[in-house]
A and B are shown apart, each in its own frame.
Chain A
Amino acid sequence: MTAIRAEGLTLAYDDRTVVSDLDLQIPPGRVTVVVGANACGKSTLLRALARLMRPVHGAVLLDGRAIHSLPTRQVARQVGILPQAPVAPEGISVLDLVGRGRSPHQTWWRQWSTADEQAVAAALAATGMTDLAHRPVDELSGGQRQRAWIAMAVAQQTPVLLLDEPTTYLDLAHQVDVLDLVTDLNRRDGRTVVMVLHDLNQACRYADHLVVMRDGRIAAEGDPAAVVTAELVTEVFGLDCRVVPDPVTATPMVIPLSRHHPARAVTA
């Protein structure tokens, strides 16, 4: 099981510090969900975990070794990342896009193998994209497009999968589809998943481990049921709310209060 961990991580763009002195242990084989207000550094943290940016201080450790000391391709065979809102080149087919997920497994002299073909076919099947394989990505609906990108990350066959807001721009039914798919990848293949989500209720449902970020630091982490309280949500998101058990899953459910809808009849 690949273990990924951040130690004293400080991340900055030029000289603007975005994440400071952050320690995080990603539980192997589980689903970790990162939440937090806009611009609190979630994407930045995910990029650092995938070696897309170099820390100012501290390190990301992959099985105990600093990720920046490992060869790029070796990292790419262990950690897959789907950045926020990726843009596909005009006219690329789903099959070609998903096939590129295989590049960390390819060499100069063997650019395509039967294993590649099978991995792509399996990724297409797992995401329900097999019938759309020959369609251009830019002619798909938002949900199909997102599934095509996820299929690319799945075809990479990495034990760790990082997803940055995989449900953004999708309608509710397709959000649930994508989240169920991610859960399948975790439960069936035992992949470690780290994803950034916007919706707190979905995060509570799908997370084994919840990481709540605020201003580049971890405000709270752990089992969603233990972590998510009305006080925490108020502190982190500046939102007055009530937290009740989700009627379906019994995980915490955040019901926002607002100026026009203050707390009235308290029945619970």
Chain B
Amino acid sequence: MTAVTPPTPGAAAAAPEPVTPAAVRAVTTATPEPVRAKAPDTAGPFKVGASRPAERPARALRPAVLGLPLRPRLVVMCVITALAAFGVFCLGLALGDYPVPLADVVPALWRSGARGTVFIVHEVRLPRALTGVLVGAAFAASGAVLQAITRNPLASPDMVGINAGATTAVVAGIVLGFGDTLGTPTLGLAGGLLGALAVYLLAWRRGSTGFRIVLVGIGVSWMCTSATDYLLTRAKMHQAQEAVGWLVGNLNGRGWEAVRPLGIAVAVLLPAALLLAGWNRNLQLGDDVARGLGTPVQLARGLLLLVSVALVSFATAAAGPVLFVSLAAPQIAQRLARLSAPPVLLSALTGTLLVSGSDLLARHLLPDVDLPVGVVTGAIGAGFLLRLLIRSNRAGSGG
């Protein structure tokens, strides 16, 4: 029984973990466990011998497919969302001042077709559309990871100061003039990490989850916003214009220089988030249970936080803080899939659909006005946030 099996990569972290207080298990989104005598169970007292697996062949509950548990609903939702997102993506490439027939859009992606069409699709519209796809996926996946670890839907990056930190750093780069040397992605990452570090040190070090993080995060968010405002008052006219155009979350005029770093970041970080999802699922059971299941708790939480912060920072650097995507998309995905925590891949696809769709709306809702995509996602997301707040207050966990 004690044969030593070689550890798998997941076991790589055998490092001793410091003891975390039991308070870690505190949840704020869930209502407290009722500590009362219960009514008789519907199933009645169970007799072990009567239902032994040997006597009653085990029903197929969740078959394994390609090393993954089969979840038909999740798969179907992913396919539907991906198709819808692809449809909106193609529409975005087709519509505009020079409409391109939908049938010509896909070939033009591979540079086949009339030269004018290829130019419009590939050079003019594709970078903006791709930025939208990547930004949506990055914001949403980041939110899914963070909401899952904190077990709180409100603890998404745009609520807790990570977005705001990245924004302040990028605006500082523009206004103080060091933005060109360091590059927007680096600045965004540095700012996002600093914002996250502030929240971590002020609220999370002792492992508290939920509302404490949200409250401290909102505080950090406001501090960053004030700093951004102050920087704007110090800015020269052209700097302020550049900063403001970017502050609301904007895909306007994004070229390949924005797509490349973000594309690489998403290509690395999204698979990382998917691979870490198993650890995240265990963390949601509380630190003691997770550790008992073989999860290196501190390492797992650290890596998950890092992935989440990096995703949101790169996305913010590329398109500005596109509000509410990281809050709303994972929640929508979680409801679509009917799971207990936001699924990463479906969240990313939902985020893509949300941002691409919002950008399409922003471009065509008011012709002649260049509406930033952040205004549209903000309007959609604000309603969603209100709904969430009302719901969580009704559940008695509003504070």
* Binary contact track A52-67/B, C-beta < 8 Å → 1, others 0: 1110000000110000
Residues in A with CB closer than 8 Å to B39 are 141
Residues in A with CB closer than 8 Å to B110 are none
Is the CB–CB distance between A159 and B1 below 8 Å? yes
Contact of B289 among A83, A109, A129, A143 (CB under 8 A): A83
Is the CB–CB distance between A125 and B52 below 8 Å? yes
Is the CB–CB distance between A68 and B16 below 8 Å? yes
Known interface pairs A52-B288, A89-B340, A125-B53; A177-B46 also in contact (CB < 8 Å) = yes
Q: How far is the CA of A65 from the CA of B49 in the complex (A)?
A: 36
Which residues between 157 and 195 of chain A lie within 8 Å of chain B, taking CB atoms?
159, 169-171, 173-174, 176-177, 180-181, 184, 188
Asked whether any CB of chain A lies closer than 8 Å to the CB of B41, the reply is: yes
Contact of B11 among A13, A71, A110, A143 (CB under 8 A): A71
- Among A47, A79, A83, A169, find the residue whose CB has the most chain B CB atoms closer than 10 A: A83
Is the CB–CB distance between A112 and B67 below 8 Å? yes
Which residues between 1 and 58 of chain B lie within 8 Å of chain A, taking CB atoms?
1-2, 4-5, 7-11, 13-14, 16-19, 21, 25, 27, 29-30, 33-43, 45-49, 51-53, 56, 58
Asked whether any CB of chain A lies closer than 8 Å to the CB of B341, the reply is: yes
Asked whether any CB of chain A lies closer than 8 Å to the CB of B293, the reply is: yes
Residues in B with CB closer than 8 Å to A242 are none
Residues in B with CB closer than 8 Å to A47 are 288
Is the CB–CB distance between A125 and B58 below 8 Å? yes
Known interface pairs A76-B294, A100-B293, A120-B61; A85-B48 also in contact (CB < 8 Å) = no
Known interface pairs A72-B13, A72-B14; A89-B278 also in contact (CB < 8 Å) = no
* Binary contact track B288-303/A, C-beta < 8 Å → 1, others 0: 1101111110000000
Known interface pairs A91-B340, A106-B278, A108-B9; A128-B48 also in contact (CB < 8 Å) = yes
Q: How many residues of B contact A (CB 8 A)?
A: 69
Known interface pairs A72-B295, A103-B282, A113-B67; A85-B33 also in contact (CB < 8 Å) = yes
* Binary contact track A98-120/B, C-beta < 8 Å → 1, others 0: 01110110111111111011101
In whole Å, how far is A162's beta carbon from the nearest beta carbon of chain B? 8
Main secondary structure of the interface of B (DSSP, over half): loop
Asked whether any CB of chain B lies closer than 8 Å to the CB of A32, the reply is: no
Asked whether any CB of chain A lies closer than 8 Å to the CB of B339, the reply is: yes
Known interface pairs A72-B295, A111-B69; A130-B59 also in contact (CB < 8 Å) = yes
Asked whether any CB of chain B lies closer than 8 Å to the CB of A251, the reply is: no
Is the CB–CB distance between B294 and A73 below 8 Å? yes
Residues in B with CB closer than 8 Å to A177 are 45-46
Contact of B10 among A52, A73, A96, A120 (CB under 8 A): A73
Q: How many residues of A contact B (CB 8 A)?
A: 88
Is the CB–CB distance between A76 and B151 below 8 Å? no
Contact of A73 among B7, B51, B286 (CB under 8 A): B7
In whole Å, how far is A143's beta carbon from the nearest beta carbon of chain B? 5
Residues in B with CB closer than 8 Å to A248 are none
Asked whether any CB of chain B lies closer than 8 Å to the CB of A50, the reply is: yes
Q: How far is the CA of A128 from the CA of B48 in the complex (A)?
A: 7
Asked whether any CB of chain A lies closer than 8 Å to the CB of B284, the reply is: yes
Q: How far is the CA of A77 from the CA of B60 in the complex (A)?
A: 24
Known interface pairs A1-B1, A103-B294; A73-B340 also in contact (CB < 8 Å) = no
Known interface pairs A81-B288, A121-B53; A181-B64 also in contact (CB < 8 Å) = no
Q: How far is the CA of A75 from the CA of B30 in the complex (A)?
A: 30
Is the CB–CB distance between A76 and B46 below 8 Å? no
Asked whether any CB of chain A lies closer than 8 Å to the CB of B399, the reply is: no
Asked whether any CB of chain B lies closer than 8 Å to the CB of A51, the reply is: yes
In whole Å, how far is A186's beta carbon from the nearest beta carbon of chain B? 12
Is the CB–CB distance between A54 and B288 below 8 Å? no
Residues in A with CB closer than 8 Å to B47 are 128
Q: How far is the CA of A78 from the CA of B294 in the complex (A)?
A: 10
Please name 27 pairs of A and B residues whose Cβ atoms are closer than 8 Å in the assembled complex, sorted by A.
A2-B1, A52-B291, A53-B19, A72-B13, A72-B291, A74-B5, A86-B285, A87-B27, A87-B30, A87-B33, A89-B284, A90-B340, A96-B339, A103-B281, A107-B10, A111-B69, A117-B60, A118-B53, A121-B53, A122-B58, A127-B46, A129-B43, A142-B38, A171-B37, A173-B45, A174-B41, A184-B48
Known pairs A51-B291, A117-B64. 20 more at Cβ < 8 A?
A54-B16, A71-B14, A72-B296, A73-B294, A74-B11, A83-B289, A91-B340, A96-B339, A96-B340, A103-B281, A106-B278, A107-B9, A108-B9, A121-B59, A125-B58, A129-B46, A141-B42, A169-B37, A173-B45, A181-B46
Query: Could you list which residues of chain A lie within 8 angstroms of chain B, going by C-beta atoms?
Result: 1-2, 13, 47, 50-54, 62-63, 68, 70-83, 85-93, 95-97, 99-101, 103-104, 106-114, 116-118, 120-122, 124-133, 136, 138, 141-144, 147, 156, 159, 169-171, 173-174, 176-177, 180-181, 184, 188
Query: Could you list which residues of chain B lie within 8 angstroms of chain A, going by C-beta atoms?
Result: 1-2, 4-5, 7-11, 13-14, 16-19, 21, 25, 27, 29-30, 33-43, 45-49, 51-53, 56, 58-64, 67-69, 151, 275, 278, 281-282, 284-286, 288-289, 291-296, 339-341
